[in-house]
Amino acid sequence: MSAAMNDADRLTHLIVEFYEKLSSWEHCVVRGKGLTLPQMHTIEILGAHGPMRMKELAEKMGVTTGTLTMQVDRLESRGLARRMPHERDRRSWLVELSEKGRSYFEEHDKLHQRLTLELTEALSNEERAAVLSALEKMNKRF
């Protein structure tokens, strides 16, 4: 086996292992709030991007508008989001976070920031910059 293949194999396993650990952490954090991962993902997108049309939000999440409708219904029933008519397009609805939803977003974002600090505290500035650069390049390829 070549060194490049060995590195590719190691990288594959490390990415999968990191994903599994991060997913497990995320499940625990979200479950503590009584939410599902898709519900928290909806909150994260709305928190980061502001009010969005249902169609745009569904595209960002990679789900159908029908699936998103159920997610938004549940978030609305918990007082975390609300629908409102679009000002310029009467056929469209915007979804936005309520004050309570914004609070959930900010709290969850702080947990992400804390985890990132914990995971990277042993890295040098150069290592941190290399990880940042690599992740930016990898994210662009998705």
Q: How many domains does the chain contain in total?
A: 2
Given this model, what pLDDT does residue 89 score?
A: 79
- In the chain, the amino acid numbered 106 is E
For 117, the domain range is 36-141
String of b and e for 31-68 (b: at least 16 CB within 10 Å)?
eeeebeebbbbbbbbbbeeebbbbeebbebbebeeeeb
Domain harbouring 41, CATH code: 1.10.10.10
| Alpha-carbon gap, residue 7 to 27, rounded angstroms | 30
Same-domain pairing of 24 and 44: no
Tens-place pLDDT, residues 41-83? 999 999 999 999 999 999 999 999 999 999 999 999 999 999 9
134, 70: one domain? yes
Q: Are 54 and 110 within one domain?
A: yes
Kindly list the distances between the CA atom of residue 111 and the CA atoms of 29, 49, 60, in Å, as whole numbers in the listed order: 9, 19, 22
Q: Are residues 125 and 113 in the same domain?
A: yes
Does 31 have pLDDT greater than 80?
yes
**Could you report the per-residue pLDDT of 106-117, keeping only the tens digit for each?**
999 999 999 999
* Co-location of 55 and 79 in the same domain: yes
Average pLDDT, the chain: 93
Q: Indicate if 22 and 52 belong to the same structural domain.
A: no
Task: Tell me the pTM.
Answer: 0.84
Nearest-angstrom CA–CA distance, 65 and 58: 6
Whose tokens are 């997610």? That residue is 71
